[in-house]
Amino acid sequence: MRRSVTRKLAVLAVSAAVVSVGAAAPPGSTSGTAEKVPVAVGYGGAVASVDADASAAGIEVLRKGGNAVDAAVATAAALGVTEPYSSGIGGGGYFVYYDARSRTVHTLDGRETAPQTAGTDLFLENGKPLAFADAVSSGLSVGTPGTPATWQRALDEWGSRNLRTVLGPAERIARDGFTVDDTFRSQTAANEARFRYFPDTARLFLPGGQLPVVGSTFKNPDLARTYEELGRKGTGAIYHGDLGEDIVDTVNNPPVDPGSGWNARPGKLTTADLRDYRAKLQAPTRTSYRGLKVYSIAPSSSGGTTVGEALNILENTDLSKASETQYLHHFIEASRIAFADRGRWVGDPAFEDVPTRDLLAQRYADTRACLIKDDAVLTSPLAPGDPRHPVPCATGGTAAPTTFEGENTTHLTVADKWGDVVSYTLTIEQTGGSAITVPGRGFLLNNELTDFSFAPANPAVHDPNLPGPGKRPRSSISPTIVLDRHDRPVVAVGSPGGATIITTVLQVLTEFVDRHLPLVDAIAAPRASQRNAAQTELEPGLYNSDLRTRLEAIGHSFKPNPEIGAATGVQRLPNGKWLAAAETVRRGGGSAQVVVPAP
């Protein structure tokens, strides 16, 4: 039964908490010496990420007087070293910031953009869509990187330290090295074949032609030099300088091994695409749930609208008193409905008329919530509703199936002693991105443009996610900050996982808010993910439980997924205390740290 599973996870988490209350980075150390524990409680600020060295980099900046924004950039830069297959300066992301002084939430859209040459036929060849594998490991898949611009814009708007200072810890890790773990080796192994297509990638990530050995020290001197250059010259080195020219040359002339036989189709990125790129400062999404204010990222990501709509659908169901079966049933159905609407309505608002406000209206959610029955399951793919002209319980129309998104990204959450909070998800799309390393620069390029629809998912329905010149592909990234009625932070969460990000964040929030699990237990609980598909994905803790049988009796159909998401979060506690939480098991467990541990 899931309840017993949850109890076991809770016992494990409490045990971890007892051990990890003292989890703080050694002063000045960010080179493989920080202990990796999933929960920490203390003062002076907190950082949670998937990696101990990265969390320690953020803690180092907080300890030296930096704020949450400074620490978030430092942590992200360190993840670009230790989690290079999930993030880095060759990618993009979405940044959500809570300003304690004004008690307001702000966001940055740092999503990659398509080249100005891109049309709706970007991934068509001879009139037919490319195979996904052919598109990924190519210059065609690479969007204009947005991560460096996001870092600089965040520091300019809200930071207290300069880029050179906050890149310092990451530069040191890249130069001195970090310890290879099972996750890094297994991710390298999963990409070994395509890494060998590109000699620069193979030289970096397959040292001596072999997979990196667990326990060995992995160094990236090229990336250390790149970070040093960025610190010295600023991000203009990418958007107006030599580093950017190297990116353009690499995208348009992928440095492929001729003997590999791989057709690394060239892209058409230009220095003008880099020069014109901007990380967009924009208003967050906001919805109310159980008297709390839930803020997230607005389109071009679908995260804020889809999580928000699902919460609104669940608003009038008392999940705290529901059985485990009914809780998951309603969670799954709300996810199904929200994804049906996402597929039809959400794209880049610079190109598409996205009804963001209408999607987040409680009155619209109520017209969709009435589709959910306690003893029956909706059929997928479910047709979307029309948020501008809502019709209660409408089931007509043509469905827009959910398109594929790569599942490896990374998320970090940070809080500082002043009460500021950052929830930041960054990515190069799938594990290993495009597999193309910029020669001599030490980082992989993204494959974010494969998040576009290669062709309309359903020719009978307008697809808002087709490629276009300068367009941002739709994302599922959902960095979220929850405030109380006095506009003080309650919790901040986020996760990697492609389209499963949305269901992961939704489940963590409902487990925490409705089911009253401690944050680390809400993160550790076994997950389900329904994305308007015929089958719902279940992690083993649910798939191998009696709960699955009870849900199947209602009409649900399931398939196993070994791992869904890898969340982190921070929670405000009384008297200036913070709790940082990360995964206990997924991706080898995460790293929660605080500046000053509670006694």
Per-residue CA distances from 125 to 120, 227, 265, 435, 585 (Å): 12, 38, 11, 21, 42
CA–CA distance, 131 with 108 (Å, rounded to integer): 32
CA–CA distance, 450 with 286 (Å, rounded to integer): 28
Tokens 């970007």 appear where?
122
Q: Which member of 30, 306, 409, 450 is catalytic?
A: 409
Estimate to the nearest angstrom the gap between the alpha carbon of 432 and the chain centroid: 15
In contact, 555 and 530? CB cutoff 8 Å? no
How many Cα atoms occupy the beta-carbon half-sphere of 517 within 13 Å?
26
Per-residue CA distances from 590 to 182, 197, 252 (Å): 13, 31, 37
Tokens 């910031």 appear where?
97
How many Cα atoms occupy the beta-carbon half-sphere of 473 within 13 Å?
37
List for the chain the helix, strand, coil content (%; round to 5).
40, 15, 45
Which residue type sits at 232? R
Per-residue CA distances from 62 to 25, 304, 414, 434 (Å): 11, 28, 10, 34
Rg, the chain, Cα only: 22
317 DSSP assignment: S
In contact, 517 and 6? CB cutoff 8 Å? yes
In contact, 557 and 571? CB cutoff 8 Å? no
> Has 409 been annotated as catalytic?
yes
> Quick one: tokens of 62?
């907080």
In contact, 521 and 6? CB cutoff 8 Å? yes
**Torsion angle, alpha carbons of 44, 47, 48, 52, to 10:** -110
Which residues have C-beta within 8 Å of that of residue 305, sequence separation ≥ 6? Answer: 285, 298, 299, 342, 345, 346, 354, 356, 359, 360
| Helix or strand (DSSP H, E) at 336 | helix 324-345
CA–CA distance, 37 with 330 (Å, rounded to integer): 33
Question: Of 243, 57, 86, which is closest to residue 566 (Cα–Cα)?
Answer: 86
> Quick one: tokens of 180?
């290879």
Residue numbers annotated as active site: 409
